[in-house]
Amino acid sequence: MTASLARAHAAALPLLCLTVALGLGACSGGDFGRARPDVRTDDMHRWIGVEATGSVGLPASQFQLTDSERQMRDLAYPLIEPPHARPAKRTVVGDYKPLPSPWREKIVFDRTAYGKLLLDEPHRSHASRYAQLMEDVRNDLTRFDSFFPVADRVISLDRKRQASLKYISELSPAERTDATARMEENALIVQWVQQCLQQRVSSYRWALERLVIHAPDGAAADADRLIKHLAAQASNVTIATPPVPGRVLTTRG
């Protein structure tokens, strides 16, 4: 009887381990926090261009994305997502969702949201809040450094695309419409990122000012230098995008 029980337990053990592993995967939204295969797709950020053009009343292109266009959208998402919206300890794949463009009438930018979250979240010491702020700014600088050359390449190729339209033989109205729509999409994505960078700088400055009031620290000077660096990057963007009819580039809030 004892041997039979042992054999039964041994047979059940692999099934038990599999059940536990599947349960952990379901709780984390994927394999221990990694995105599920059904969420991570090559064109998972294609909606960014569709949202940008749709928000200003322009049609989206039906052309497939080029490698550079896809990469630009992938790199744009972390920059248009509100800063510190998904703290690392709370990140799950279920948090991912499309975002409204800044040209939607009901979208109002709240520069205090980031700072309030930073102050309200439990921290072991005030120094960790300064550290979190500086880490977020550094991450934005790194993201921008990755985004900029890709966006510049996409827009440069769009200028060549625009110039070549008059030389294409038997260009159909649908092809011209989709080519123009794709150029408009790409230009709006760059403008979207530029606006969000400016908004992030405003949010970070508000947060730093409150940190100085709540808990003065020498780290404030380092944080201020980082924020100024990000502000310089945001204001010195040299990607000249072609004009897009109907686009309203205003930042509210």
Parse the chain into domains and list their residue ranges: 1-34, 41-235
Residue 237 pLDDT: 64
* Residue 187 neighbours by CB under 8 Å, 6+ apart: 155, 158, 241, 242, 244
* Other beta carbons less than 10 A from residue 220's beta carbon: 16
C-alpha distances out from residue 94 to 19, 80, 91, 140, 169, Å:
21, 18, 8, 23, 47
Between CA 116 and CA 149, with CA 206 as vertex, the angle to 5 degrees is 105
Which stretches of the chain are DSSP H helices? 2-28, 47-55, 67-80, 113-120, 126-164, 173-214, 219-235
> What is the pLDDT tens value at each position of the chain, 253 positions in all?
455 545 554 554 444 444 434 343 333 333 333 344 444 577 889 999 999 999 889 999 999 999 999 999 999 999 998 886 445 444 444 466 678 888 887 778 899 999 999 988 776 788 899 999 999 999 999 999 999 999 999 999 999 999 999 999 999 999 999 999 999 999 999 999 998 999 999 999 999 999 999 999 999 999 999 999 999 988 876 666 655 544 444 433 3
